[in-house]
Chain A
Amino acid sequence: MSNNNKKWFSLNLNSRKKESNTCGCGNASGGCHSNAPKQELSEKEFFDAAVNASIGEERTRDGFDQVFDVKMDRRSAFKKLTASLLIGAGAVSTSCSVITDDETKEKAQIDWEEQFKGNYKLMSDDEKKATVDRLVRSYQLRTGKTISMSSKNAEADVLFGYAFNISKCQGYMDCVSACVKENNQDRSSQMQYIRIHEMKDGKGLSFDEADDNYYHEVPAEGHFYLGTQCFHCDNPPCVEVCPVQATWREDDGLVVVDYDWCVGCRYCMAACPYDGRRFNWSKPEVPENEVNHNQHYLGNRMRKKGVMEKCTFCVQRSRSGKNPACVEACPTGARVFGNLLDPNSTIRWVLENKKVFRLKEDLGTEPKFWYYMD
């Protein structure tokens, strides 16, 4: 594992479980915690080491020297600050305590590393795997259940695109419920990535007169239906405005969010012209028996409150060769998904043989989501 070129600071407490060869996450090849010290430390030793790590040689110097004669750049200054914070809070309550058991300590260790890990976008493959392993282990410790989480990268020569047949959609909303189930969306706030707009015949595409929240039998007489979701723009305004690069466009065209790096400023939401983003205003809740255990780090893994999320074209499915859940669930065949770079794909056939259009093309966002009619 690439400890040497880490792009962020991580500090190891709770080095106990390093005694065994296999580490707590069950990953023998050393995906997680492999940078922890090898031998067990006593409490006293741990405390000394922690103090050393944070203030080091300054213990032997007087106050003035400590303040004015320190050679460090800003980065190491902040590292030391964080380290001293750790001694105060985390270490005292967990690692130094004699009553907490190993599992609690492991949880604390995982929480610590997760809190101070870097941006997924900038991680090496090993680092991606490490954080995925930590999240899997953390879920196991908390619920006793095992999930599988992927950190699969974009494949070469793949660019995902989507097409929606307005003539076929009957407004059944099977896609919406399949999406919610597949992507572990918050049930309490009824979050939905897809909106189906019920439009009146003869009025063209007048969205302002459409109803995206209907509760009646469909298809309703004199209406047609049009679905919107994140369009995975090739020139996404949401990505530009994010102050911390917590959202970005992957090489296969998917616009994704690192839920753990998002600070929740909602600037991307204001910048999106397509209503494609959803925010976790409260702690998202999914009943334990409804959780989809087949997850991807950038996709349907469990979110927390105060972060942004959105449609990822079901990255956990699309990157393993399957269609997104909405495409699979659609009973009318109105939804087409595929690789735009594959000349034999259905999506390419649609783009070449149908009169297709996109929404708000004048904004220059280049959505990869086309509409067409039979």
Chain B
Amino acid sequence: MRQLKVFSSLVKDSLDTITHGSKKYHIWMAFLTFIMLVGMYCYSIQLDEGLQVTGMTDRVSWGLYISNFTFLVGVAAAAVMLVMPTYVLKDIDFKQAVLIGEGLAVAALIMCLAFVVADMGGPSVLWHMIPGIGVFNFPNSMLTWDVLVLNGYLFLNITIPFYILFRHYQGKDSNPKVYVPGAILSVFWAVAIHLVTAFLYQGLQARPFWNNALLGPRFLASAFAAGPALIILVLAIIRTFTEFNIKDKTIKKIALVVTVAAQINLIMLFSELFKEFYAPTHHSESAYYLFFGLHGKGALLPWIWTAIPLNILATVLLTFHKLRNNLKVLYFCCFILFVAIWIEKGFGLIVPGFIPGPYGKIAEYTPTGIEIGVTLGIWALGAMVFTVLAKTAIKIETGKLRYKNSQ
């Protein structure tokens, strides 16, 4: 009963926390709310008229939604790069950042689920997918694996930080025996969510562009580059706007993770390009379409030729210690790396999988305004979830929010 009382007090306090703040904070939240409302309006049109309001067709049947979903699974998985050093390797430098990382994972997972639902033709019959009530095609369908691992990871990333914050809220220390098993599990789980998501595509013999053994490892490498890059940017913002103390040392250690992952990612990219272009086969056509265009059609050219230079530039800059240790250069690198991987793993991966089609037909895909509106709305939703979680967590961690104080 006491626990319940503490919990309700925590809920009350955090509601109080998230509704109060500086003017900038209110403008930020109002802005997110506005974007979310626009997104909901766009989604209502999509519900009413069907998926024809998107740019997707029978020829390219997955687009912006699934691209973002794929990318965000990676962002969610990246939390492991903070969880593992903190809880498993006991590196105290990561301790301050780990809660932020887990909050980011929660936000990313919520966005993932929202993107999948937005992509469904029949959201009203989604209960068919709930194990036990519907028919769950497990273990045959990789999509059911994905449903399981994503929700499991979401559960882990909500419960572990919640337990720690709940203890700190009461002014007590958290017991490592309670959360460390969960943390270790979540390390494996993070790898699983991204590998399973890669297998979703990798397992399709119909799409040679995806049906390649490097896809899974490359997903991991790019995720561990883009995710921590986003975490660095978020930490930089938090450092500027709150009194939450994050040491330079923490950021620099995360930067090292980003660098190594980006280097590995680049090696894999070269390996892939070599295979596609040294001895091109019929199966290299998608790659040709992506990088050079086919039969005069090249809607993806501007995207991929933005992504590749940004990717290489960021990786090269990060490789030099002097440049990486300069925070301004680091933030710039993280930003361009994030954008580059978003393009590469979103648009650059999903769309060419469908082009050319099974019989060589080249039908291009351009997202519509409504699709972009829904996408922005979901990103705003994620940003809002993260802001709310981070604000409460920071207030507890800095000792400003305590159970006794509220009495």
Instruction: Give the B-binding residues of A (Cβ under 8 A).
Output: 8-9, 74-75, 78, 115, 118-119, 121-122, 189, 195, 197, 206-210, 212, 228, 237, 240-246, 260-267, 269-275, 277-283, 305-308, 363-365
Query: Are A306 and B122 in touch, CB under 8 angstroms?
Result: yes
Query: Are B120 and A264 in touch, CB under 8 angstroms?
Result: yes
Question: What would 17 more interface pairs be, CB under 8 Å, given A240-B140, A271-B206?
Answer: A121-B135, A189-B52, A208-B285, A208-B359, A237-B204, A240-B141, A243-B129, A263-B125, A264-B120, A265-B120, A269-B61, A270-B206, A273-B205, A283-B50, A305-B51, A307-B122, A363-B205
Q: Does B345 contact A (CB under 8 A)?
A: no
The interface residues of chain B lying within 8 Å CB-to-CB of A275 are 58, 357-359, 361
Nearest neighbor of B146 in chain A, beta-carbon distance: A243
Query: Are A78 and B360 in touch, CB under 8 angstroms?
Result: no
A119-B135, A243-B136, A264-B121 given as contacts; is B359 within 8 A of A212 (CB)? yes
> Which one of B51, B116, B133 has the highest number of Cβ atoms from chain A below 10 Å of its Cβ?
B133
- Would you give the shortest CB distance from B40 to chain A, in whole angstroms? 18
Q: Does B243 contact A (CB under 8 A)?
A: no
Q: B344-388: contact bitstring with A at CB < 8 Å (1 yes, 0 no)?
A: 000000000110111111000000000000000000000000000
- Would you give the shortest CB distance from B347 to chain A, in whole angstroms? 16
Q: Which 7 A-B pairs have the closest CB atoms?
A: A264-B121, A306-B121, A208-B360, A273-B206, A282-B52, A305-B50, A243-B143
The interface residues of chain B lying within 8 Å CB-to-CB of A263 are 120-122, 125-126, 128-129
A264-B122, A306-B120 given as contacts; is B137 within 8 A of A244 (CB)? yes
Nearest neighbor of B57 in chain A, beta-carbon distance: A281
Query: Are B125 and A228 in touch, CB under 8 angstroms?
Result: no
Q: Does B22 contact A (CB under 8 A)?
A: no
Secondary structure type dominating chain A contacts: loop
- Would you give the shortest CB distance from B44 to chain A, in whole angstroms? 15
Q: B38-73: contact bitstring with A at CB < 8 Å (1 yes, 0 no)?
A: 000000000001111010111001100000000000
The interface residues of chain A lying within 8 Å CB-to-CB of B137 are 242-245
Q: How far is the CA of A182 from the CA of B200 in the complex (A)?
A: 35
Q: Does B119 contact A (CB under 8 A)?
A: yes
Of A246, A267, A278, the residue contacting B58 (CB under 8 A) is A278
Nearest neighbor of B147 in chain A, beta-carbon distance: A243
Q: How far is the CA of A122 from the CA of B147 in the complex (A)?
A: 22
Q: How far is the CA of A280 from the CA of B58 in the complex (A)?
A: 9
Query: Are B135 and A280 in touch, CB under 8 angstroms?
Result: no
The interface residues of chain A lying within 8 Å CB-to-CB of B353 are 270
Nearest neighbor of A281 in chain B, beta-carbon distance: B52
Q: How far is the CA of A266 from the CA of B61 in the complex (A)?
A: 7
A-B contact pairs, 13 of them (CB 8 A): A75-B132, A208-B359, A209-B360, A243-B136, A244-B135, A244-B137, A245-B135, A269-B61, A270-B201, A271-B206, A280-B50, A281-B50, A282-B50
Q: How far is the CA of A273 from the CA of B116 in the complex (A)?
A: 23
Q: How far is the CA of A243 from the CA of B143 in the complex (A)?
A: 6
Q: Does B309 contact A (CB under 8 A)?
A: no
- Would you give the shortest CB distance from B51 to chain A, in whole angstroms? 5
The interface residues of chain B lying within 8 Å CB-to-CB of A207 are 359-360
Q: Does B171 contact A (CB under 8 A)?
A: no
- Would you give the shortest CB distance from B363 to chain A, in whole angstroms? 10
Query: Are B141 and A306 in touch, CB under 8 angstroms?
Result: no
Nearest neighbor of B137 in chain A, beta-carbon distance: A245
Across the A-B interface, how many residue pairs have beta carbons closer than 8 Å? 152
Secondary structure type dominating chain B contacts: loop
The interface residues of chain B lying within 8 Å CB-to-CB of A237 are 204-206
Nearest neighbor of B116 in chain A, beta-carbon distance: A265
The interface residues of chain B lying within 8 Å CB-to-CB of A122 are 135
Q: Does B144 contact A (CB under 8 A)?
A: yes
Nearest neighbor of A241 in chain B, beta-carbon distance: B141
- Would you give the shortest CB distance from A269 to chain B, in whole angstroms? 5
Within 8 A of A (CB), among B281-334: 285
Nearest neighbor of B59 in chain A, beta-carbon distance: A275
The interface residues of chain A lying within 8 Å CB-to-CB of B133 are 8-9, 75, 78
Nearest neighbor of B295 in chain A, beta-carbon distance: A208
> Which one of B129, B133, B204, B359 has the highest number of Cβ atoms from chain A below 10 Å of its Cβ?
B359
Q: Does B3 contact A (CB under 8 A)?
A: no
Q: B131-167: contact bitstring with A at CB < 8 Å (1 yes, 0 no)?
A: 0111111001111100100000000000000000000
Nearest neighbor of B51 in chain A, beta-carbon distance: A281
Nearest neighbor of A211 in chain B, beta-carbon distance: B361
Q: How far is the CA of A143 from the CA of B133 in the complex (A)?
A: 33
- Would you give the shortest CB distance from A135 to chain B, in whole angstroms? 16
- Would you give the shortest CB distance from A9 to chain B, in whole angstroms? 8
Query: Are B136 and A307 in touch, CB under 8 angstroms?
Result: no
Q: How far is the CA of A246 from the CA of B51 in the complex (A)?
A: 19
The interface residues of chain A lying within 8 Å CB-to-CB of B207 are 270
Query: Are B143 and A270 in touch, CB under 8 angstroms?
Result: no
Q: How far is the CA of A173 from the CA of B122 in the complex (A)?
A: 33
Query: Are A267 and B135 in touch, CB under 8 angstroms?
Result: no
Query: Are A273 and B358 in touch, CB under 8 angstroms?
Result: yes
Query: Are B121 and A305 in touch, CB under 8 angstroms?
Result: yes
Query: Are B359 and A280 in touch, CB under 8 angstroms?
Result: no
> Which one of A237, A271, A308 has the highest number of Cβ atoms from chain B below 10 Å of its Cβ?
A271
Query: Are B204 and A241 in touch, CB under 8 angstroms?
Result: yes
Query: Are A270 and B140 in touch, CB under 8 angstroms?
Result: no
> Which one of A274, A278, A305 has the highest number of Cβ atoms from chain B below 10 Å of its Cβ?
A305
The interface residues of chain B lying within 8 Å CB-to-CB of A306 are 50-51, 120-122
- Would you give the shortest CB distance from B80 to chain A, in whole angstroms? 26
Query: Are A261 and B129 in touch, CB under 8 angstroms?
Result: no
Q: Does B124 contact A (CB under 8 A)?
A: yes
The interface residues of chain B lying within 8 Å CB-to-CB of A197 are 359
Query: Are A270 and B62 in touch, CB under 8 angstroms?
Result: yes
A207-B360, A271-B206, A273-B206 given as contacts; is B121 within 8 A of A262 (CB)? yes
Nearest neighbor of B200 in chain A, beta-carbon distance: A267
- Would you give the shortest CB distance from B119 to chain A, in whole angstroms? 7
- Would you give the shortest CB distance from A93 to chain B, in whole angstroms? 16
> Which one of B134, B136, B354, B357 has the highest number of Cβ atoms from chain A below 10 Å of its Cβ?
B134
Q: How far is the CA of A8 from the CA of B132 in the complex (A)?
A: 10
The interface residues of chain A lying within 8 Å CB-to-CB of B356 are 208
Nearest neighbor of B204 in chain A, beta-carbon distance: A271
